Amino acid sequence: MLDPQARALIDLMVERGVPAVNTLTPAEARRYYLERRFFTQPEPPAVGEVQALQTDTGTPLRLYRPTPAAGQPVLVYFHGGGWTIGDLDTHDVLCRQLCLAAGVAVLSVDYRMGPEHCFPAAVDDCVAATRWLRRNGATLGLDSTRVAVGGDSAGGNLAAVVALALRDAGEAPLAFQLLIYPATDMRAVAPSHRSNGQGYLLTADSVDYYRRHYIADPALWSDWRASPLLASDLRRLPPALVLTAGFDPLRDEGLQYADALSSAGNRVQYVCFERQVHGFITMSKVIDEAHTAVALCGAVLREALEPR
C-alpha cells in the first residue's frame, strides 16, 4: 500500500497540473524544484552555526554546525536532483535536520550539473570537496579524521563513487557512507524501473531525462563512476546505511548495491520504507515518515562518527 500522505501529495500535484520534469528545460525544472520546496518542507530548524565556504576551485559549500564547539565530525553531503537540478537551498532543511539529529557538522556541496557540465564533472567536484574538507577541517575547528559522505538519489550515487575513488587512491578510509535511495546503475535495468516507472513522482521518463542531461553517451553508463554497482571491486569500503523507498524506480538497484557491498565483506545496514516514494525524506512537512527516516539516519550517523 502506498502511504496515504504520499498518495495525497501525488493526487494534489495531478489536480494542480504540476508539469512533469521531463517536459521542462533544465532551467525551468530547477526553478520549479526550488519553488516547490516550500510546500513539502518545514521551516528550516535553527542550528548552531551556518557558514558559506568554497573549495580551492570555487565549488560553493555550506557548513552547518550543531553547536559552535570545536572537534565535531563531519558529514559531506551531496544533494539529489538527477545531476541536473537541486542546490544548497533545496536541501538546506534536510542538512539542518541531519546536523541536529546526528549531532555532527554537515558540509553541503553545490557540485556542477548537466547539461552544462556533464559527467564526470559532478564526480570530480565531490571528490575534490571531500579532499578539501580533509585538508582544511582542522583549520575550521572540525575533526577531519572522522568524515562520512552521504547523499540522496543522485547525491547517493555521488557519495558511493567518492568512497570508491578515495579507496582506489589509497587515502585514509572514510568513516561512513549514508546512501539514501541511491542511483547505482545508470543502465536502469532493475525490475523496479518497470514496476514503479509510472505514477510515483519519479518516473521512467524523468529517469531518462536526468540521465540524458548527465551522460548522453550510453557507452559511459557502465563506467563505475556513473554506476558504482558495476565497479569491479567493492571490498574495503566504509560502513554504509542504504535506505530505499518501496514505490521508487531506484528501489531494486539500491538493494542490489547494499547486497553487493555486503557480499564484498563490508558492514552494511539496509532499510526500505516500503510505503514511500522517491524523494520522501525531504518532504517532512507533508509526509510523517520523513521524520522517522531522518531520525534513523541521524542515529546511525551519530554512532558511526562517535570517537572510538
Total residue length of the chain: 308
- Please identify which of the residues 92, 152, 248, 252 carries the catalytic annotation: 248
Q: Is 193 a known active-site residue? A: no
Is 213 among the residues known to form the active site?
Answer: no
Q: Are strands 72-78 and 60-65 parallel, antiparallel or unpaired?
A: unpaired
Cell of 202: 519519479
Quote the CA–CA distance of 8 and 15 in Å, as a whole number.
Answer: 10
Alpha helices in 215-288 (DSSP H): 251-263
Write the DSSP assignment of 14-55 as a string of letters. HHTTPPPGGGS-HHHHHHHHHHHHHHHS-PPPP-SEEEEEE-
Gap between the Cα atoms of 163 and 76, Å rounded: 11
**Catalytic residue from among 91, 92, 153, 213:** 153
Residue 135 DSSP SS3: helix
CA 140 – CA 243 distance, rounded (Å): 30
Q: Which helix (H) or strand (E) holds 105?
A: strand 105-109
**267 with 138: CB under 8 angstroms?**
no
- Cα(116)–Cα(180) distance, integer angstroms: 25
Strand partners, 53: 61
Q: Is 248 marked active-site?
A: yes
Give yes or no for a contact between 263 and 237, defined as CB atoms under 8 angstroms apart.
no
Cell triple for 223: 563506467
Cβ pair 272, 244 in contact under 8 A: yes
Give, in order, the Cα–Cα distances in Å from 284 to each of 42, 172, 219, 293: 7, 35, 38, 9
DSSP 57: T
Q: Which residues on neighbouring strands pair with residue 180, listed in sequence order?
A: 152, 243
Residues noted as catalytic:
153, 248, 278
